[in-house]
Chain A
């Protein structure tokens, strides 16, 4: 079945550091890929998405590129802020089925001033 693997957290960075959160997936078809973010005390919200190979999703300074050859969708940001502290979830949704997303376990990011 489909699965998403994310790097274990927490990831702890200083403000203005470079961020990478790794995400790899297993799917039978050609899924759409997503990054969701969950701020403390809130539900998840979509951060960015990509629907086909080599697409780059971007939002709020975050980027991720759909790499079919390595089945990866790593999240990056050039300069993190304290306000980026949250839990980040990688997810996939496969066409031809239920479209219910499969989520990774989530990676907690803590940014210190």
Chain B
């Protein structure tokens, strides 16, 4: 079974631009979560989608948004990029949301650099 895939793997943008990142979960997984990973802040939860609905949201500004499609694929968008948005963005999928002890399966991430 194929793992979680993320595209693109690397991205360079300039301040003020916007960016869209894509995530394809493991087949059959309906929950997709997004995380931002930086050396200073560690791993921070952005949002989680289940059956095309945002179920949970972390503490990030409205510039960060996402969506999930009927095939469970998900995208996240960051508008008006700032230098501080440079990070590794990780996507994770789970088979069933809300199951005690269920693990998350992570993709390799998209490395975003904002110049």
Which listed residue (A49, A98, A103, A105) contacts B55, Cβ 8 A?
A98
Asked whether, in the complex, the Cβ of A43 is within 8 Å of the Cβ of B107, the reply is yes
Asked whether, in the complex, the Cβ of B56 is within 8 Å of the Cβ of A98, the reply is yes
Asked whether, in the complex, the Cβ of B33 is within 8 Å of the Cβ of A100, the reply is yes
Chain A contact residues: helix, strand, loop or mixed? loop
In which size bucket is the chain B interface? 20 to 34
In which size bucket is the chain A interface? 20 to 34
Give the nearest-CB partner of B106 in chain A: A43
Q: Nearest 3 A-B pairs (CB), nearest first?
A: A43-B106, A51-B101, A105-B42
A43-B4, A103-B43 given. 19 additional CB < 8 A pairs? Answer: A32-B100, A43-B106, A44-B43, A44-B90, A45-B106, A46-B103, A46-B104, A49-B103, A93-B100, A93-B101, A98-B48, A98-B55, A98-B56, A99-B99, A99-B100, A99-B102, A103-B42, A104-B42, A105-B42
